[in-house]
Amino acid sequence: MGFATHLGSWLLGTVKNTTGTIAGTIQNLGACPSIQTKVVAATDITAGTVACVLPAGALIQSASYLVTTAYATTTPTIALLVNGSAISAATSVSAFTTTGATAIPLGTSNPGLVSNVGSTDAIVTFTQANVTGATGAGILTIAYVVRGSNGAMYPSASQQ
């Protein structure tokens, strides 16, 4: 399997510019989502543990936590931050005691950072709390759309 990097989002669709008012003549380009993941252990409880870095202007679509090894406690919490500002409340997930995926609600704090992480690359960190013992692990997944550093989905007309 190969890996490649690409600057900016992949825009997919068949109509680049709007020339009319009916389907087939209206711009229908959309951007492909991207994801980043972070393996998390129960011992990763330090505030500000780095999960990933998102490109400037990114729109965060969702976050989830896949428990791969059940935690020893029933009330762990996880919270997400962008450049030190919370984008989720400390989410208590009873599912941490069993394996499986759970969504982390976003935008309860700083919804503006969810819709645009800012004009520079954004460090996404997380904090776990109420974790007892040294057992438990999972994979934190953050899905986002790459956009221009100003949050624009499409380049200006002069750049197309």
**Domains of the chain as residue ranges with CATH:** 32-151 (2.60.120)
pTM for this one? 0.85
Confidence at 9, pLDDT banded by 50, 70, 90: confident
> Rounded mean pLDDT of the chain?
84
Is residue 123 within 8 Å of residue 110, measured between CB atoms? no
Is residue 153 within 8 Å of residue 69, measured between CB atoms? no
Asked whether the predicted pLDDT for residue 20 surpasses 90, the reply is no
Is residue 153 within 8 Å of residue 16, measured between CB atoms? no
Determine the average pLDDT of the residues in 101-108. 88
Asked whether the predicted pLDDT for residue 13 surpasses 70, the reply is yes
Of residues 76, 71, 73, 92, the one with CA closest to residue 136 = 71
With 0-12 CB in 10 A as exposed, 13-18 as middle and 19+ as buried, what is 144?
A: buried
What pLDDT digit, counting tens, does each position of 41-74 carry?
A: 888 877 778 999 999 999 999 999 888 988 877 6
